[in-house]
């Protein structure tokens, strides 16, 4: 029995012992979260986006105007937020509902 050498892991969701490779593949597929902009386009690390409305930036006392281009975004653990860099604001996090892929 060559197939008996495989490790098994208890899957709490199903209540069954399953092969470790099968559980790892299922968790990897669940970990891939698709991040979409306001128009439904898929976003990825390094993309450029454009603001679709004026946004007041809390703590900076500044307003980012509609049409402002933000380059080199980074995706976060939250599919509704992206991490951005802007020349005058450090640590900028934008909601995906306010951006459109360029």
Q: What is the pLDDT of residues 57-92, one digit of tens each?
A: 888 888 999 999 999 999 998 999 999 988 888 889
Lowest mean pLDDT across 10-19, 24-33, 53-62, 81-90? 24-33
Question: Is residue 1 over pLDDT 50?
Answer: no
Which whole-number Å values give the CA distances from 18 to 2, 88, 97, in the listed order? Answer: 16, 51, 39
- Nearest to residue 73, comparing CAs of 83, 87, 86? 83
For 96, other C-beta atoms within 10 Å of its C-beta total 22
Give me the phi and psi of 65, to 5 degrees please: -85, 155
pTM of the model: 0.68
Structure-token pair, residue 58: 């809390």
């Amino acid at each position: 029995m060559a197939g008996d050498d495989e490790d098994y892991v208890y899957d709490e969701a199903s209540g069954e012992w399953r092969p470790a490779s099968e559980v790892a593949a299922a968790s990897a597929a669940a970990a891939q979260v698709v991040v979409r902009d306001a128009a439904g386009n898929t976003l990825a690390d390094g993309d450029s986006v454009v603001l679709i409305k004026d946004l007041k930036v809390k703590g900076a006392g500044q307003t980012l105007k509609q049409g402002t281009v933000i380059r080199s975004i980074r995706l976060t653990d939250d599919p509704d937020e992206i991490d951005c860099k802007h020349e005058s604001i450090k640590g900028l996090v934008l909601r995906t509902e306010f951006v459109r892929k360029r």
